[in-house]
Structure 1
Amino acid sequence: MHNLCIIFAGMARIICKRFRFLPVLFFLFSTGTYGQDTLPSFSAQLRPGNKVLVSWNNHFGKKIRQISIQRSADSLRNYKTIMTLPDPTIPQNGYLDQKVIDTNHYYRLYILLDSGKYIFSPSKKATRPKPAPPATVVKTEKKPSEPVQNKHTTPIPPAPVAEKNKPAGETVVPAPIPERFILIERRDTVIGRISEKQIQRFRDSVSLKTKDTLVMLHPDTLEIRPFIPADVFRPSRFVFMDKSGLLHIELPDATRKKYMVRFFESDRTPLFDIKEIRDELLLLDKANFLHAGWYLFELYEEGKLKEKNRFFIARDF
């Protein structure tokens, strides 16, 4: 039994010495299976104007419940959430951080799965995008010189002039041009991306179906600016100011129904209420209000909101 143990121990040492490279190969294969910008990893790239684009590919699909982007001046602590994505299940998503002064900050992602488990991604600093790959040079074998033709043969065309700075016997093959993608933003949030070929169709769709505006912020970023309708003031027919500076409260059904009016400042700070109005016409002097400008009111009929509007008190001078 003792001899068998010695034999097995010797065999184990031989196997370990002969195949000691196996753990290293396994480590290399295991680390190469994840892309650089696939969750939980992500990309952080510098953009013009001290902006940082944080982006990633989502292979978790519908299993993600929340993704929050966190920023810190330290790589280990003091992280603060700067953005929580409204839809974390988008396959390709990101966020453009425009409010950072120092681009030396660290970023990380907080990922919450539908199972209740959560993941913190490795932290990283923003880097500049990698330049496009150079042209590929393919070496070709030199052809043997052809025999000199006589006068009865077809003349040999002149040899092409060698390109400048190109080594003899080498052919320069241009690298394939990668397809460009444009990021789509709405209110500082990246909502998707489209290829450069689809930009015109996307512009036409937005202009025909919405009143929003498209603005090209950078060569690779397109912003959707939502349409904000103009604020058109329509005076109330129940509560309004006349030219003499009196506020009219005209309620034709005041004798049969219960009315109440509540007044507010323009920032919705409460001023005062008039409860149980029994007169069909009630006049208030503008001295009841603190200053000139806009005021808000709410008119209630039988305890239910009948109208929300505003009125303007002009200055005396």
Structure 2
Amino acid sequence: MKKILLLLLTGIILSNGSFGQEDLPKDFSVFKVGKRVIVSWTHNFPSVKMISVQRSFDSSRGFQSIGSPPDPNLKDNGVSDPNPPNDSMYYRVYVLLNGGKYAMTKAKRPMVDTSGYVGNYGDVNVNNAPAQTTDFLPAGFVQSKYIFVTPDKYVRVELPGDKRKYDIKFFNENYQPILELKDVKEKRFKLDRSYFYKAGYINFELYADGKVLEKYKLYLPKDF
């Protein structure tokens, strides 16, 4: 995934202020994986209010937001477009900063992931884009790309395909411990529903080499 994310700085338009070279977001990638399009990026901003992926039939106008990551301050992140209208859509990344400043990339069309790097990097799940409608998630809730609930009502874990050590901690709504997974070896697996006691929001913390990669939550439907 680093080969995809750590690309040359290019195609960035800044407005309402200027930034040093070290603050510019790095180039983003757009790959077609099966029927989906995965948009991923790396940024160096110290603080970000929002990041959204926008899609259009045209390279310069008519863009609409299709999804946002749960935590915009994660340096390496991405959003999946599970149902693109066609293979020739244009995608760009919009970054909202503090003080009304923003950064916006130039538009790109997706490339086919012939290398397999995207598929090996946890396979961004199809539920993290608000454009997808589901009958078991609360309206407006955006799932994590690492730990999420699938339509068959299982908790799915999909970790980056690198050599870092991963630990996962699950908590109930009151942040009382439920389950802890240490030094997870498998990159993709499902957790049986019996690990979780009741429906509702489950908080989790995902660690990579002892550092928090994501602190978020998932939602278990009532018939879970």
User: What TM-score does the superposition give when structure 1 sets the normalisation length?
Assistant: 0.36
Instruction: Judging by fraction of residues, say which structure has more helix.
Output: 1
Which protein shows a greater Rg? Answer: 1
Q: Tell me which of the two structures has the higher relative contact order, counting C-alpha pairs closer than 8 angstroms and 6 or more residues apart.
A: 2
User: What TM-score does the superposition give when structure 2 sets the normalisation length?
Assistant: 0.49
